[in-house]
Amino acid sequence: MSGRAQLMWDEAVTGYDFGPEHPMDPVRLALTRSLVGALGLDREMEVVAARSAGESTLRLVHRQDYIDAVKAASLEPDAADPSYGLGTVDDPAFAGMHEVSSLIAGQSVGAAEAVWRGQALHAVNFAGGLHHAMPGAASGFCVYNDAALAVARLLELGAERVAYVDVDVHHGDGVQAAFWEDPRVLTVSLHEHPRTLFPQTGWPEETGAECAEGSAVNIALPAGTGDAGWVRAFHAVVPEVLADFRPQVLVTQHGADTHFEDPLAHLAVSLDAQRAVQVACHELAHEYAEGRWVALGGGGYAVVDVVPRSWAHLVGIAAGRPVDPETVIPEGWRQEVYARTRQLGPMRMTDGRWPVGWASWEEGYDPADRLDQAVVAARRAVFPLRGLLA
C-alpha cells in the first residue's frame, strides 16, 4: 500500500455557490486550498482531480427521480421542484448545480477508491462532507451526499465493515439514513443536541433498524459545550465502538462549524480542539483500520477565520506533516484574504488553546454534569446492543 496521501481538488468545486446571501460561501474552499499551498502541504501529497460521479454512482444512494429533478433544476433554476428540497431558502437552485454537485461527489468517491485500492493510505476532500442530502431530497445546503456515496462505493468494491465518524456540529442525518438498515456500516455522529439545532435528529435512541441494531451512534451535546467537554465526549464513545466494530476503512467528516465563532450553531469549540480530534481520527484509522482513512470537510460558516485553518490542519495531518499550532500564517495568504473578502485574516494556526486539556472517561463521571449526561445517554443507548458495558 502506498503511504502517500492524496488531496482531492478541482478548482471547479468552487462553483458550488448558492448565491451571495447564502452562508455557504465557496470562498472558504478557495481560501483553504490556497492556505494549503502557502504552507507547502500540497508538496507532501498527490493532488488529484477525480472525475465527476456518474448516474450509476449517484444511484448507490440517490433515487433516479431525485437525480432527474436536480438535473432539471440545474438547467432551469427558476423551475426547481421544492418537493425535492430544491429552490428553497437552504438549497436555492442554480445553473450547473448538478454538474458541480456531481464533481464534489466524485472527489469523495475517488478518495474512497484510492484508499481501498491501496493507491493512497489517506485521502482528503475538504469540499465534501455534504452529509444532509437524502436519497430523494436536498437538505441543509447539501445536494448530493458525497459522504454516503463514498461509503456506498467502498461497499460496492467489497468492503465488509466501514465506519463513518461525523464531528460536524449538525447531526449526520443523511449518512445515517442511507445505512440505517445496513450492519456493514457504523455511523457515529457527535453533534449539538437536536433540541437546539437543525436537523432536529440525532437523539441517542436512534441506534439503527432492527436488522442493524447498534449500527448508529449519536452523541448529542448540550449547547455551549467547549473544548474539554467536546474532546472528552469524543474519546468516551468513539474509540470503544471502533474497537468493537473493527472497520476496514474509516471515513470521517470534519465540519468546522463546532467553532465558537460559527454563526449558525451554539458550541464553543476552538480550532485547537478541532485539530486534536483530527489527530485522534488519524490515530484511530491506524489503530483499527490499517491506516485507511478518507477525511472530508463539511459545514463551517466562519469562512475566513476558521474554515481554512481547520481544514489546512486536517490536510497536514493526513499528509504526515501536521502543522504546528504556533505556525505564523504566511503574509501572502493574508493578503489574498483581504483582496477576496476585505477582511483581515488570522495571524497564526491556533486560537491559543493548544494543547487541549480534557478528562478521560475512565477517571469517572459526574451524573449532575450536562456533558456527562449526554455521554451516558449515548453509551446506554448503544453499548448494550453491541455487547459493550455502558
Torsion sign over Cα 108, 298, 304, 269: negative
Instruction: Give, as one character, the DSSP assignment of residue 91.
Output: S
Nearest to 138 by CA among 199, 86, 201: 86
Q: 169, 191 in Cβ contact below 8 A? A: yes
193 tagged catalytic? no
CA trace torsion 331, 29, 108, 188 (10° rounding) = 90
Three-state secondary structure of 26-85:
CHHHHHHHHHHHHCCHHHHEEEECCCCCCHHHHCCCCCHHHHHHHHHHHHCHHHCCHHHC
Nearest to 148 by CA among 136, 130, 161, 160: 130
Nearest to 171 by CA among 143, 149, 204, 146: 204
Tell me which H or E stretch contains 216.
strand 216-221
Catalytic residue among 98, 131, 132, 235: 132
Helices (H), the chain: 27-38, 55-58, 64-75, 97-116, 146-156, 173-178, 227-245, 271-288, 307-319, 331-341, 370-382
Torsion sign over Cα 200, 22, 259, 250: positive
Three-state secondary structure of 283-311:
HHHHHHCCCCEEEECCCCCCCCCCHHHHH
Tell me which H or E stretch contains 87.
none
Q: 288, 250 in Cβ contact below 8 A? A: yes
Nearest to 116 by CA among 77, 69, 150: 150
Catalytic residue list? 132
